[in-house]
Amino acid sequence: MFAKILIANRGEIACRVIRTARRMGVRTVAVYSDADAGALHVEMADEAVHIGPSPVGESYLRGDKIVAAALATGAEAIHPGYGFLSENPDFVDQVTAAGLVFIGPSAASIRAMGLKDAAKRLMEKAGVPVVPGYHGEAQEIVLLASKAREIGYPVLIKARAGGGGKGMRRVEHPDDFSEALSGARREAKAAFGDDRVLVEKYVDKPRHIEVQVFGDIFGNVVHLYERDCSAQRRHQKVIEEAPAPGMTPALRKAMTEAAVKAAKAIDYSGAGTIEFIVDASQGLKADRFWFMEMNTRLQVEHPVTEMVTGTDLVEWQLRVASGEKLPKTQSEIALSGHAFEARIYAEDAAKGFLPATGTLHHLKFPDTAPEGASMRIETGVRTGDAISPFYDPMIAKLVVHGKNRQAALEALGISLSQTEIAGSTVNTAFLAALAADADFSAGDVDTGLIGRHQQALTAVPPPSSEIVAAAALAASGAGAQAPTRDPWSSLAGYAHFHAMARRTRLRYGEDDILALVSMRPDGRFQVALDAPYDSALDLRAAPRLARWPGHVTVFSGAVGHSFAVPDPLARADEIAAGADSLRAPMPGLVKLVRAAKGETVIKGQPLLILEAMKMEHTISATHDGTIAEIATEGAQVTDGTVLVRFAEEAHG
């Protein structure tokens, strides 16, 4: 076994690897960028090496710096985690050329599966079923469009490199093909440095079911059953589970055998995942699944497999990479119970899942698992950490296990309702709504479920009068000099003839709320609110809430209602953008400008494309009008930057 390894990653996966390495007595070296100097993975590791500025291209994607850090610290092997350089065969060559061990598959195996088109041709030769489509080298738009017509619409354009939904577009009609292809190519180029694509038949009711495989250098390959990752938004996974709901013995046998066959075809060693698309329009059948791609690394959702098989896949990775045989044979790997993983992100689900930034002023996960269940939290952040625009905005993965799917699902809902996060917009309410969705609860899930139910799943209920009153009461005791002072006792004290009272102002979204808070002689608190809230409420107990600079967040189940608390001494300096301008919803890069100053545009017309978190977001006109100013291509903008300004006379 290795004495010391370097982890070429950050965040929750770096922390995850460190925990297992520590348990095994293996020392760890972390690497970090400027933005991560105070990160949790840096604190947890035995040593840490600075590798460059915050942008990934200058730090976490610099294989030369990472190899140099490993050599300088005496590390014997490098664990890539997932993302970044984990599936880069050139990096594997760098590692091995330096006399180090790459904790993962060989460069040859990664190359064989690294490009979706080549991988599918290889799988066809190996006898693994492949989605109907065009996987060739030629990339002329005329050829691709003709192939799409041959396949039959709808089709899916997919980047041949990378994953995570980047460089992917569904096309319903031939007239939309050219525009979709351009967008997919731009996004693929930005994310993977490769703008080549493949075109496939779009399956009407697709299930995304994948099989965890593991191989060693002695030619042994096993599977650890399947995971269902069909709950997706924008082609990115949201809640994963194992085993797949509704899985039949015949389909499981066919899929796992195909997965093992695929791994053996490339002499695979280490952790890998074979991803399949399954046509669920007529139920799960053994002849209705096709190979999509192989991820030659550990998956984000690997904890659900660990929960249902009782394994530690990171331990297996370290053992296999150090030259040991697989810890278990196929007959020794059994399924037990059911597990879910919910990805908690800093994002605004109600605004199309736009990534969010901010400081996590309050971060609290459940202390214990619900009765009859087990739970684990995978995170790389702590209270006070910032969500940076430079990296994926994942905050944590909440993983639960129960004796069956219903028990696990109930545990997931309870655990989400007990999670408290304040300081950034997060998706816990959306995750809880999805877990409670009737179709999802019944296991009737496909990759289009979230899209069909998105409005209901992302709707944020307005705060009740009780929640507003609780926020007002908390704000009434706020003080910049003592931000953690108990607001429930701040009004106690002597008052002659009448109850002490304090006038408080809050802002919720665009609404200003005025409240009069007083303490009654019997210890109750009375809060008088303006319409449309109840005129007067008596509060006896403190709800779940968090106070942070200039704000109060009150938690109701999985929903966190955040209220701004204006400083009464500060001069009002709010300039409303109104309908005269469009502002950046997040920090990003102006990738493409599609309109010009002086141009007359119509409502809904795309004006520019903003790239953030390696995804493209289209900014469209909110009304008919004439453009007075528009951002320039290549401009790096911050949250709230004016991107488009309309002439005042151009709207009504």
Which residues participate in catalysis according to the annotation? 297
List C-alpha distances in Å: 142 to 70, 139, 149. 48, 9, 11
Instruction: State which amino acid sits at residue 310.
Output: G
Residue indicated by tokens 């694509």? 197
421 with 363: CB under 8 angstroms? yes
Q: How far apart are CA 44 and CA 46, in angstroms?
A: 7
**How far is residue 144's CA from residue 158's CA, in Å, rounded to a whole number?**
12
CA distance 620 to 599: 14
Cβ burial 342-351 (10 Å sphere, 16+ → b, else e): bbbbbbbbbe
Strand partners, 134: 199
Q: In what order do the strands lie in the sheet with 588-593?
A: 615-620, 606-612, 588-593, 636-637
Instruction: Single out the residue of 616, 608, 599 nearest to residue 642, CA to CA.
Output: 608
| CA dihedral sign, ordered 13, 14, 19, 20 | positive
Tally Cβ neighbours within 10 Å of residue 399.
24
Q: Which of 344, 350, 372, 545 is nearest to 435 (CA)?
A: 344
How many other CB atoms sit within 10 Å of the CB of residue 580? 17
Residue 30: enclosing H or E segment and its boundaries?
strand 27-33
Q: Which two tokens stand for residue 605?
A: 């017309």
Place of tokens 């300004």: 645
Q: Which amino acid is at 252?
A: R
The single-letter code of the amino acid at 599 is: E
What is the CB-side half-sphere exposure of residue 285 using CA atoms within 13 A? 7
